[in-house]
Structure 1
Amino acid sequence: MRLLRPFPALLALVFAFTWMSLSSPGSAAPAYEPPRGSQERRDILNALRPLVEARLNPPVEFVVNYMQVSSGWAFLHVSPQRPGGAQIDLRTTTFSEDADYMDGAETYALLRYQYDRWNIVDYAIGPTDVFWQGDPLYQTLPAGVAPR
């Protein structure tokens, strides 16, 4: 029976190690780009679509320049365009007065998977700088999700 006595302590140690490794930021699953045609990729882009179409007028297609996902977070950089590849003229959108000061329709978004769907946490359309640099929220993301 003496051999069984250390078992609870060993079990507690294994549990503690597992909990610490799962909860530490460095232990998040590696970031990846969902494959073209995958449901996950469609879900992420479709979560962004209503916001972009409200600002740029529908219909909008996305050219994905960057998409990384890890541990329920997704960061994207997309180039919205009209179906068939036509460029969006910002002067015909809600950005008509700011079009000259923007970097086109380039769109960046941070999304979080919660409540059984992807939700927009932060976004920028046409930024002229790397707006996420220095924002404390982005420092908490799993490695590889947002560009450095």
Structure 2
Amino acid sequence: MNASLTRLFLILLVALVPVFGGETFTPQPGSPERKAIVDALRIPVKAELKKEVIFKINRLKIQGGWAFLAGVPLKPDGSEMDYRDTIHAEAIREGAFDGGIFALLQKRNGQWKTVRYIIGATDIPYVDWPQEFGAPEAIFEP
């Protein structure tokens, strides 16, 4: 009986390592985890842009309840987003806007929440996020 419990514990431990720490992983396209992350990010981005939005995901990594996403906001039909009628119009006019998005999310009480995101950065805005928010550095690595 004791050996069975030990074996069960080890199986559960191995299964939960990607969730509670351990290795960095990328959820598969169409997976519930990936959808939950994207849906959590969509809320503040839609509010900022005042437009419906989908994301082309270039990089998505998860570790220990943290997720980092690098991608591009797009119109729902998959075409390029027009930012000229958004709060980014001035940055576009000044040539200080790149259409990408970087986002940090955290899973709290079983729900993904957007901690920080930046649209249009022309530099690497997330360089201090591991220290600022306590997120694992591995999720930011290419």
Q: TM-score range by the shorter chain?
A: 0.7 to 0.9
Question: Is contact 1:61–1:81 with CA below 8 Å preserved after alignment?
Answer: yes
Aligned residues with identical type, % of pairs: 33
1:48-100: per-residue Cα shift (whole Å, max 9, x none)?
00111122232211110100001100000121111222111111222222223
Deviations 1:86-132 (A, max 9, x none): 1111112222222232112x111101101221111111111111112
Following the alignment from structure 2 to structure 1, what is the Cα–Cα distance between the partners of residues 137 and 124?
A: 17
Residues 2-17 of structure 1: pairs in structure 2 closer than 5 A: none
1:102 equivalent in structure 2: 97
Matched, 1:29 2:29: no
Q: For this pair of structures, how many residues does the alignment match? A: 121
**1:45 and 1:60 mapped to 2: Cα distance?**
10
Report the secondary structure of 2:140's partner residue: coil
Deviations 1:27-56 (Å, cap 9, x if unpaired)? 931001101111000000000001111222
Pair 1:144-2:138 in alignment:
yes
Larger radius of gyration: 1
Letter in 2 for 1:129: D
Q: Mark the runs of 5 or more structure 1 residues left unpaired by the alignment.
A: 1-21
Alignment RMSD, CA only? 2.1
Q: Which residue of 2 aligns with 1:91?
A: 84
Q: 1: CA distance between counterparts of 2:41 and 2:126? A: 18
User: Which of 118, 123, 127 pairs up with 1:129?
Assistant: 123
Letter in 1 for 2:132: L
Letter in 2 for 1:147: E
SS in 2 for 1:145: helix
For the residue of structure 2 that corresponds to 1:110, the secondary structure is: strand
Give 1:55's aligned residue: 48
